[in-house]
């Protein structure tokens, strides 16, 4: 809502513009006043509580200074257009409306017939039927019309109120006077509000739900007579749209149309603004995207309140109680939003998360998907929580998320490494390895899906998410990302690598040529040596092959001071569980698997030095031996 409203009073000379302003300010008629008054500022608490508490500036004009008139019109928020007789009435159409349009001024106009003190009651009725009604139908700019008398102080305050209301509660975004119906954006907004207030999703606003809406929007309830009057008014338009079950959507729309037709559209605006709609009937950006300070190395996760809200939504819309959201149920849940988030579509949702045998997203998958969304782009989560009606007093949607502590770094013997985290529950893992090594099958197994013999190379980046239960019963969420064709660019981008908690380097233990891909990966992309890493031997249920590589996997990991390779198979569920738990453990304690990071031993004795030195020399010797063999074979 605007802090200051600027009202420009226009009309032909002699129609009483200055007299109207003086009567409003002084509450008395002043017969002899100057031709043009200086701008008058009216304070917020002026005269009556019915006025909007907004600072208002009223600007007088005349036709002699066209340049000043046009300047003021361009700064105006509303035009108070005055006429007083048949000639000046005709000039409204022939001159004033044309002037506004030629200037490109698209402002609400309050049309005022002044000097009502010199006309009779018959003239008053004639003014309404013969003058006001045609103007309202012909010109969309004219929001309301009123008869006034500066001399008798008749309707002066009401005209001022109409000018304020034209800005604070404009009718034009809501109602099409020519068609006699609400506009499409208003229909969409009111339909969404009805949906959010229908807490049990039975298609009706029960009496309790309607009273809750009334209390929320206007701070007061309704008595039984008020409800009976509303019910009668709605059913007069169409029978049985307000039944014993409650008010239908059609009835709710008709009720607000009645408000607009009867000049009570501030009631509709009261509802819309409570649900954070702007004058253009879009949802306020500050509500959708509240400011959240996130340190550079922190992440954003859902809070317990946020998870509870998402659980309640899932249970409410799982109408068949099969433990999954089918396509129709998901569509219904997302009705008050723009639809499935763009980020979900880009990552091929629902293949990204856990589904049941029918392919419907389970509660576990639903929470995992939102955990991933919040981690990768918390603004999407905040906006969707707002669309879905999340409320928590003054804190709003911010209370549905939490910001983790910044991830810090330390140095041990010239090697930087990340410090362990204590408050995080969502972790991100890049899955790397050569073509055919089994990365995609690993990701499918992570979601509990069966192994498929069909091989489809990963070209587009792909990600999946699921929960992991750690020792002690704590549950966290792990995101696995396969980078596809973007892999080289991401692995050479320090900022993108910083978003990764752990690398899962995979090779096919049954393919003798597979491990060489990992060695080449390390050579081409030296930045990955800064990230905690686990080496994983996939397809471990098949015969293990000696690798035709510069160095064998066990020796490679030992040389980098990493844990030995984990041998994993999709046919060995226990090995999969161990892998996912270790990926989270390393994310929590990066020093456990940071390449080339020596163990933290406070007192290093002579024997320890010998062991470390021997390992380093042995690693270098193995590399030299391999090079010598290759050279000898070529010769």
**43 pLDDT above the threshold of 90:** no
- Structure letter (DSSP) for residue 544: P
DSSP 442-487: HHHHHTTPPP-S------S-EEEEEEEEPTTS-EEEEEEEE-GGGH
CA–chain centroid gap for 484, Å, is 29
Per-residue pLDDT at 120: 56
**48 pLDDT above the threshold of 80:** no
3 state SS of 83: strand
Write the burial class of residue 459 (CB in 10 Å: 0-12 exposed, 13-18 middle, 19+ buried).
exposed
pLDDT tens for 228-287 read 888 888 888 776 678 888 899 999 999 999 998 888 899 999 999 999 999 999 999 999
pLDDT confidence of 630, banded at 50, 70, 90?
A: very low
**Cβ neighbours for 176, distance < 8 A, ≥ 6 positions apart:** 182, 183
Among candidates 11, 14, 175, which has minimal Cα distance to 79?
Answer: 11
pLDDT above 70 coverage of the chain, percent: 90
pLDDT tens for 105-121 read 989 999 999 988 886 55
Per-residue pLDDT at 603: 35
**130 pLDDT above the threshold of 90:** no
**Cβ neighbours for 573, distance < 8 A, ≥ 6 positions apart:** none
pLDDT confidence of 454, banded at 50, 70, 90?
A: low
Residue 182 parent element (H or E) = strand 181-182
**Rounded to an integer, what distance in angstroms lies between the CA atom of residue 314 and that of residue 329?**
9
pLDDT confidence of 126, banded at 50, 70, 90?
A: confident
**Rounded to an integer, what distance in angstroms lies between the CA atom of residue 165 and that of residue 168?**
5
**Rounded to an integer, what distance in angstroms lies between the CA atom of residue 376 and that of residue 354?**
18
Q: What count of other Cβ atoms lies within 10 Å of the Cβ of residue 502?
A: 23
Query: For residues 273-309, b (16+ Cβ closer than 10 Å) or e, as one string?
Result: bebebebebebeeebbebeeeeeeebbbbbbebbeeb
Residue 363 parent element (H or E) = helix 363-376
Least confident of 47-56, 160-169, 359-368, 625-634: 625-634
Write the burial class of residue 224 (CB in 10 Å: 0-12 exposed, 13-18 middle, 19+ buried).
exposed
Mean pLDDT of 318-346: 95
The token duo for 495 is 């900022």
**Cβ neighbours for 609, distance < 8 A, ≥ 6 positions apart:** none
Tokens 């929590």 -> residue: 588
**451 pLDDT above the threshold of 80:** no
**456 pLDDT above the threshold of 80:** no
Mean pLDDT of 287-293: 94
**51 pLDDT above the threshold of 70:** no
CB 569, CB 539: distance < 8 Å: yes
H helices within 198-303, ranges in order?
Answer: 207-218, 224-237, 249-261, 265-274, 285-288
Task: Give φ, ψ of 447 to 5 degrees.
Answer: -90, 5
Mean pLDDT of 541-563: 92
Instruction: Kindly report the pTM of this predicted structure.
Output: 0.84
Q: What count of other Cβ atoms lies within 10 Å of the Cβ of residue 67?
A: 7
Mean pLDDT of 587-604: 80
């Amino acid at each position: 809502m605007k802090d200051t409203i600027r009202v420009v009073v226009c009309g032909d000379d002699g129609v009483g513009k200055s007299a109207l302003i003086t009567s409003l300010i002084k509450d008395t008629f002043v017969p002899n006043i100057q031709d043009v008054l200086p701008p008058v500022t009216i304070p917020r608490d002026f005269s009556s509580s019915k006025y909007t508490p907004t600072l208002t500036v009223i600007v007088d004009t005349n036709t002699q200074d066209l340049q000043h008139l046009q300047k003021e019109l361009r700064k105006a928020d509303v035009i108070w257009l005055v006429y007083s007789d048949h000639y000046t009435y005709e000039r409204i159409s022939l001159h004033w409306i044309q002037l506004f349009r030629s200037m490109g001024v698209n402002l609400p106009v309050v049309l005022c017939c002044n000097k009502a003190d010199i006309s009779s009651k018959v003239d008053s009725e004639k003014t309404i039927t013969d003058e006001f009604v045609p103007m309202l139908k012909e010109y969309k700019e004219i929001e309301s019309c009123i008869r006034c008398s500066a001399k008798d102080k008749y309707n002066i305050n009401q005209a001022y109120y109409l000018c304020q209301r034209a800005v604070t509660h404009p009718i034009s975004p809501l109602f099409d006077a020519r068609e006699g119906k609400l506009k499409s954006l208003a229909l969409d907004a009111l339909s969404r509000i009805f949906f959010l207030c229908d807490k049990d999703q039975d298609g009706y606003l029960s009496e309790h739900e309607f009273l809750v809406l009334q209390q929320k929007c206007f701070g007061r309830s309704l008595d039984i007579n008020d409800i009976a009057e509303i019910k009668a008014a709605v059913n007069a338009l169409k029978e049985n749209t307000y039944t014993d079950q409650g008010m239908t959507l059609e009835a709710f729309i008709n009720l607000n149309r009645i408000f607009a037709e009867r000049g009570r559209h501030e009631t509709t605006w009261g509802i819309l603004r409570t649900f954070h709609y702007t004058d253009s009937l879009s949802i306020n950006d500050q509500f959708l995207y509240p400011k959240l300070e996130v340190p550079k190395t922190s992440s954003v996760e859902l809070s317990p309140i946020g998870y509870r809200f998402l659980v309640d939504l899932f249970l409410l819309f799982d109408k068949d109680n099969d433990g999954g959201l089918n396509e129709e149920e998901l569509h219904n849940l997302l009705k008050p939003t723009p639809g499935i988030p763009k980020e979900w579509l880009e990552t091929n949702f629902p293949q990204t998360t856990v589904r049941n045998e029918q392919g419907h997203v389970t509660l576990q998958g639903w929470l995992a998907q939102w955990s991933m969304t919040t981690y990768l782009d918390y603004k999407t989560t905040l906006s969707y929580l707002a669309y879905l009606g999340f409320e928590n007093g003054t804190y709003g949607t911010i209370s549905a998320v939490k910001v983790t502590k910044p991830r810090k770094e330390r140095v041990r013997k010239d090697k930087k490494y990340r410090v362990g985290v204590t408050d995080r529950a969502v972790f991100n893992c890049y899955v790397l390895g050569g073509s055919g090594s089994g990365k995609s099958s690993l990701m499918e197994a992570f979601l509990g899906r069966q192994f498929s013999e069909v091989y489809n190379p990963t070209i587009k980046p792909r990600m999946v998410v699921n929960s992991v239960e750690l020792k002690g019963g704590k549950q966290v969420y792990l995101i696995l990302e396969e980078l596809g064709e973007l892999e080289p660019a991401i692995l050479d981008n320090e900022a993108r690598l910083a978003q990764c908690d752990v690398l899962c380097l995979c090779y096919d233990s049954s393919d003798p040529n597979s491990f060489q891909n990992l060695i080449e990966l390390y050579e081409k992309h030296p930045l990955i040596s800064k990230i905690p890493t686990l080496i994983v031997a996939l397809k471990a249920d098949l015969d293990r092959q000696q690798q035709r590589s510069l160095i064998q996997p066990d020796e490679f990991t030992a040389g980098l001071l990493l844990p030995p390779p984990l041998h994993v198979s999709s046919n060995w569920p226990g090995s999969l569980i161990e892998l996912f738990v270790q990926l989270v453990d390393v994310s929590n304690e990066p020093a456990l698997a940071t390449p080339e990071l020596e163990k933290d031993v406070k007192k290093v004795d002579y024997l320890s030095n010998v062991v470390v030195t021997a390992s380093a020399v042995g690693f270098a010797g193995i590399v030299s031996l391999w090079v010598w063999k290759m050279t000898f074979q070529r010769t």
